[in-house]
Chain A
Amino acid sequence: MSEFPWQSSFEIREQVVGGAASAVDVTRAYLARAEALNPKLSCFLTIDYEGALAAAAQVDRARDAGEDLGPLAGVPIAVKDNLCTRGVRTTCASQILGDYIPPYDAHVVEALRAAGAVILGKTNLDEFAMGSSNENSSFANVHNPWALDRAPGGSSGGSACAAAAGLAPLALGSDTGGSVRQPAAFCGITAIKPTYGRVSRYGLVAFASSLDQIGPMARSVREASQLLQVVAGHDRRDATSADRKTGDYVGACDRGVQGLRVGVVRDLLDGLQDADVRAGAEAALSALEKQGATLVDVSLPHAKHAVSVYYLIATAEASSNLARFDGMRYGLRVPGEDLAETYTKTRAQGFGPEVRRRIMLGTYALSAGYYDAFYLKAQRVRTLIRRDYDTAFESCDLVCTPTTPTPAFALGEKTSNPLEMYLADIFTLPPSLAGLAAISTPCGLSAAGLPIGIQLVAPPFEEEVLCSAGQVIEDGCGLLESRPSAID
């Protein structure tokens, strides 16, 4: 049994169900830790003391009444602040939603409540999930718990930081082009980007609708798998939600990788500038090989175009999705002389620089005269990226690359050059564009003591194989026994 605050979700549930601890006591302890560390880390935008204690008290009452308890009974969780929570402020880290209180719960939030989870609060993010360092939050910079001057990654930086720093065993994020995987890699935890359609987005504030997915984050592969099990499944309120049977993700963690064919993108690995990331990837591959997997060479010849393709498609979709923020029905309104001026003033004051930049880029790519040259062309190249994976999966069961080209970069290092920030997403974008399932899990530390993540990508709806392989990497070269050094 691990000591507070490093217990797993399974250990916490067992204590609560067995009566060794009350859910209220567990929740109080995590709330106190969040309150103590949040000034240093800024991972929470809202800590919901009242709601968390009420949810915990309900779990305790259910236990006392002898009722069946859910799979996450009494387990504290941190939820990204672009997921709607009824009665609790949901800001997307944007001024335009600074005071917004949703009148409904997102599908995944309903699923958490039904499972008995205790939502501690809402986590910081890049505004509207647009960013790779969390520096685009309009409220505060999140700090990496392994080195406070480093970025936690983005856009789910607050969720990654909270789980990594022991502020909650579990967290939910959202991933459009890497937004759960990249911060998981930077903060030394595991995150799963489910197949497009696996998890309902009802109640997720939309960024790029052909790419957005909600993903579980946790310190261990098994906990992330369990959280996926809780939130996955069909929901008719999201028209893109797939009517598919949910897998046995926790069970898959014990299946091993005997006979599994792992695709290695050799030219990409050999081209890595960062020796620590290369060494981490080799360690992960040898852990898989040792447990009976076979390595096969595959190639993704069009993956190098993913940054261009993604930043055209995602910004085009964002420019359309964010048109709803007009100051009329909810959120900020800055009154102008007339309707048109009210729109422009509201949006100019309500959106931060990166969101404005992406709306501009997307509007440009969709505008008359440029649609064919930019947006349509990007969608065509997206087909080539998807076909690369189709070909790769003819000879392997999953494709392995690093999650990021480098470990966590310094806060402020890339803020003055948006393109350089975009280029840091090169490995997480291709599977997003193809709608595939992916996991990032730690595979070692750099010489400077920063976590390194490995990414595994599976064909659509084959998340189970990610859980099996992720567990083998965690057992072989993971960071489960390492604690982030910069917090206590």
Chain B
Amino acid sequence: MADPKITLEQVLHVAKLARLTLSDDEARQMQEQLDAILGYMEGLDELDVSDVPPTFHSIPMDAPMRPDVPERCSDRSEILEQAPESEAGGFAVPLVLEVE
């Protein structure tokens, strides 16, 4: 059997980067599926594109500018209503930094 395109170890590393947890079974299945997909994608290797520029935007466009003037935005209470937790007019989040 050929070397896998992606190892279980790499799958777990990528999951960490993506802030996802995978159970052992999920990780094994993910490895098999990504391996098959990446194997198929090796078809791109038949093309030499070293001199071809990338297309990040299909339709050429410039970043538009707008006048820098203050405008009314959404109502704060309406936005906070959708927050999992809010406090004192702001989003309440788990402690980020320990302070002595």
- Residues of chain A touching chain B, judged by Cβ–Cβ distance below 8 Å, are 100-101, 103-104, 195-197, 210-211, 236, 239-240, 242-243, 302, 305, 307-309, 311-312, 319, 323, 326-333, 335-336, 338-340, 342-345, 347-348, 351, 356-357, 359-361, 363-364, 367, 374, 376-384, 386, 418-419, 422, 433-436, 460
Contact = CB atoms under 8 A, between A and B. Distances in A.
Interface string B9-32: 011001101111110000000100
Interface in B26-73: 30, 33-34, 36-37, 40-41, 43-44, 47, 49, 52-59, 61, 63-64, 66
Q: Is the interface of A mostly helix, strand, loop or mixed?
A: helix
Interface of B is mostly: loop
B21 A345 contact: yes
B99 interface: no
A418 B33 contact: yes
A367 B43 contact: no
A382 B20 contact: no
Contacts, number: 155
A377 B63 CA distance: 24
A344 B66 contact: no
Contact of A357 (B34, B58, B91): B34
Interface string B64-89: 10100000001100110111110000
Contacts of A312: 41
Nearest to B58: A435
Contacts of B84: 327-328, 330-333
B8 interface: no
Contacts of A323: 19
Contacts of B11: 360
Given A101-B82, A196-B58, A329-B83, A305 B91 contact: no
Contacts of A376: 54
A335 B18 CA distance: 18
A336 B94 CA distance: 9
Given A326-B19, A360-B18, A380-B52, A308 B95 contact: no
A379 B47 CA distance: 13
Nearest to B33: A418
A358 to B, nearest CB: 10
Given A344-B21, A381-B44, 9 more contacts: A196-B58, A197-B61, A345-B21, A357-B30, A360-B20, A367-B14, A382-B55, A386-B58, A418-B33
A351 B61 contact: no
Interface centre among B20, B47, B95 (most CB of A within 10 A): B20
Given A196-B58, A380-B52, A434-B58, A363 B30 contact: no
B2 interface: no
A379 B58 CA distance: 10
